[in-house]
Amino acid sequence: MPNIRYANMCHWKSIPYRQIPNFRDFYYEDNTNTAYYSDWDSILKYQAALGFTGIEIAPWDLADILPLFGSPEAFTAFAAERGVEVIGMFHGAHASHAADHFDEAVRSGCEAVDTIVKFGGTYMNTCPTQNYFGTGPLSREEVQNCARVMNEIGRYATDRGVKIGLHNEFFCAINLPNHRELIESTDPALVHYCIDTAQISILGEDLCTFYEDYHDRISTFHLKDTASANQPDSVRYAQDPEITDSGHRWFWEPGLGTLDLPGLYRLLKKHEFKGWMSVEYDGSPDLLASMALTRYHLDTVLRPIYD
């Protein structure tokens, strides 16, 4: 068993079919590649074939997935038949900085934990509160409010076998000035951290330094590259910066950006990291191509350092 297992953080947009029973006929309707991106059967097979044996689902997909499959358990069984296990789900802890939103933020987080348990997952990577624009800068008290919410959700999750991992985006109200303050304000026994390699680098953290400092808190990774590290406040605090007007991409496949991912892998080896790493392709025009490029880079550059 390797030390690192690889999953796919699901960024496929709505997949309308479970399985296409008339694949050839469907293809011939228009002779396009639509059939290849329209059913979970194919998507999960792509993952399995490329060695991504876990899937981290996105909460915004639930409204489509659940009616399509009938239940979380049915989706999990369908994925397992194709060699893929559900490892967890992302969660956004909206307004957790607001004291008067404590109960709602905890309730929502606990419901998400319950959903993950039904899928058989064990990770909930959690974005602490919303975007900086319209919310930041947060006061010290508001950061502590976030920490209290995370601790409470973390306690509920831990009791059910789920690890929650803080996951920071570069444009969140938790940002460079209070990023580490939040981590250190949470209970290490209950709240872990998911390093999104590109997001924290754009935020202004040095990837390898951050991992070295917090390696004992790290539960999982979202692995992706960027060529846009250390963005200024004017970008990170802007309104809706994630999707740019021009089509500029923040995120690239490992090896196509400028991050020191080999350096990270040397540290993973040093600290003997064991667990899941979710590869993430948000912003890619072709998720299947990105998955294959990532697999090549993993096998030829990163896994030879630490597997």
Partner 1 sequence: MPIQNFAISLDLVNRHYQEPNRNRYESRYFWEQLYPLIATSGFSAIEIPYEPVWQFGGRSGVPFNRYCVNTKYGDAAGYRAALAERGIARVTGITFDPNLFMRNANIDFFFGASGHFAGEALAHAADMGADYFAISPSPYYGRALHYHPDLEAQREAFTARTVSLLSGLAAKAQDLGVALVLRNEYWGLFRGEAILPLLAALPETVKLDVDTASLQIAGVAPADFIAANITRIGCVHLTDTAFVDNDETWKTANPEFPERRATQVFRDPGTGTVDLPGIAAQLASVGYAGPVTLSARQTRDPFRALLRTRALLNQLQN
Question: Closest CB to partner 1 among 102 and 133?
Answer: 133
Distances (CA, A) of 153 to 98, 149, 160, 214: 15, 6, 11, 21
DSSP string, 42-102: HHHHHHHHTT--EEEE-GGGHHHHHHHHSSHHHHHHHHHHTT-EEEEEEEEETTTT-GGGH
> Is cis: bond before 137, omega within 30 of 0?
yes
24 binds partner 1 per the rule CB under 8 A:
no
300 binds partner 1 per the rule CB under 8 A:
no
Give the footprint of partner 1 on residues 28-47 (CB under 8 A).
Answer: 29-30, 32-35, 37-39
How many angstroms separate the CA atoms of 143 and 155, rounded?
A: 18
Question: Closest CB to partner 1 among 70 and 188?
Answer: 70
Q: Which of 100, 141, 247, 272 binds partner 1 (CB under 8 A)?
A: 247
Question: Closest CB to partner 1 among 41 and 181?
Answer: 41
Task: With H, G, I as helix, E, B as strand and everything else as coil, classify residue 270.
Answer: helix
99 binds partner 1 per the rule CB under 8 A:
no
137 binds partner 1 per the rule CB under 8 A:
no
Q: Are 172 and 132 contacting, i.e. CB atoms less than 8 angstroms apart?
A: yes
234 binds partner 1 per the rule CB under 8 A:
no
* Token digits of residue 302: 């990163």
Question: Closest CB to partner 1 among 238 and 305?
Answer: 238
The amino acid present at 121, given as its one-letter code, is G
Q: Is 265 exposed, middle or buried (0-12, 13-18, 19+ CB in 10 A)?
A: buried
Question: Closest CB to partner 1 among 248 and 266?
Answer: 248
Residues 6+ apart with CB under 8 A from 202: 170, 226, 228, 229, 230, 231, 236, 250
How many angstroms separate the CA atoms of 61 and 145, rounded?
A: 28
Give the footprint of partner 1 on residues 255-294 (CB under 8 A).
Answer: 283-287
For the bound state, the minimum distance from the C-beta of residue 10 to partner 1, rounded and expressed in Å, comes to: 11
Give the footprint of partner 1 on residues 3-22 (CB under 8 A).
Answer: 12-18, 20-22
Give the footprint of partner 1 on residues 161-200 (CB under 8 A).
Answer: 171
Q: Which of 5, 51, 62, 262 binds partner 1 (CB under 8 A)?
A: 62
For the bound state, the minimum distance from the C-beta of residue 4 to partner 1, rounded and expressed in Å, comes to: 27
The site for partner 1 (CB under 8 A) is made up of 12-18, 20-23, 25-26, 29-30, 32-35, 37-39, 60, 62-64, 66-68, 70, 131, 171, 239-247, 283-287
